[in-house]
Amino acid sequence: MQTVFSIAIDALAYGMVLFVISIGLSVTMGLMRVVNLAHGAFAMIGGYIASYVARDLGMGYAAAVIAAVVITIVIAIPIERLLYRRIYGQPELTQVLMTIGITFCIIGIANYVMGPTLKTIPLAGPLQGSADLGFRAISIHRLFAIICGLVVALGLWLVIEKTSFGVKLRASVDNAAMAAALGVRTEFVYAVSFAVAVGLAAFGGVVGAELLPVEPYYALRYMVTFLVVVSVGGAGSIPGALIACLVLGAIDTTGRYLMPEFGEFFFYLAVIAIICVFPRGFAGRVT
């Protein structure tokens, strides 16, 4: 029984970290219809900035998180204006080529500027160490990641479903020309959602850095996992992504505990099975 609880806790923590990083990608792919393979690269930029601020400047974890999100968005804005704007509404292949190109450029720059070694983000005092749950110890940082995931999920859901900006966003996605005719500034809406998605990527990169350490190949190393989460959850759906992360986290963690030698077999088996039953993911919309 203890083991079951233990696995459940690990699964929840891992799933939430996945969620925080992947949800930004779900937004770009589902709402903006851009296959953004550079998502991991933005998460990595966030991680690097946080590491620089917290470790080299010694400014504390909270400052590092804020700086990472803000600066990554500032870096992303010109990229959106100059590059991404050209690929909105283009065929997927064009988008894939463009964004993978951006990814390789960012990897090269990161390698040149920050060096090839691992970078860590020193945690704030209260987040260090482990908490005793009675039957096992878990690092406090993981509990923090779980809370972050829940807050992000709730916040995004409220913005998209309950605010006027959310209405405009959904309108622009469904029919950009009609939305524009009705007075919605679609370019502005797209720019803001792109910034939010990038900000979430950066945030995820920082919060998830304990599990997925920051190094130049971060941008590619974990991209497949992020894409899997989005496709299993259904692009653009926040509840879908949340369910996908929890299910995949549970399967991955259980498989790893019981039969580590099978590797990611169960993870991908589950992905195949889910996609067979739900071709658009758990909560994908018919387009």
Which residues lie near another protein (CB under 8 A)?
3, 6-7, 10, 13-14, 111, 115-120, 130, 136-139, 141-142, 210-213, 215-217, 221-222, 225, 252-254, 256-257, 260-261, 263-264
We find the least distance from the C-beta atom of residue 236 to another protein, in angstroms, to be 25
We find the least distance from the C-beta atom of residue 29 to another protein, in angstroms, to be 22
**Looking at beta carbons only, is 21 or 38 nearer to another protein?**
21
**Looking at beta carbons only, is 89 or 115 nearer to another protein?**
115
**Looking at beta carbons only, is 130 or 175 nearer to another protein?**
130
CA distance 120 to 64: 12
User: Among 148, 182, 152, which Cα is nearest to 168's?
Assistant: 182
We find the least distance from the C-beta atom of residue 239 to another protein, in angstroms, to be 23
Q: Which residues have a Cβ under 8 Å from the Cβ of 140 and sit 6 or more positions away?
A: 126, 127, 128, 129, 130, 131
What is the b/e burial string over 204-216, where b = at least 16 CB atoms within 10 angstroms of the residue's CB? bbbbbbbebebbb
DSSP letter at 36 equals -
Decide: 65 and 50 in contact? Cβ < 8 Å.
yes
Angle between helices 223-233 and 265-277 (to 10 degrees): 30
User: Among 137, 135, 138, which Cα is nearest to 2's?
Assistant: 135
**Looking at beta carbons only, is 32 or 143 nearer to another protein?**
143
Query: Side-chain half-sphere of 86: how many Cα atoms within 13 Å?
Result: 10
**Looking at beta carbons only, is 7 or 70 nearer to another protein?**
7
We find the least distance from the C-beta atom of residue 215 to another protein, in angstroms, to be 6
**Looking at beta carbons only, is 18 or 65 nearer to another protein?**
18
We find the least distance from the C-beta atom of residue 91 to another protein, in angstroms, to be 29
We find the least distance from the C-beta atom of residue 83 to another protein, in angstroms, to be 24
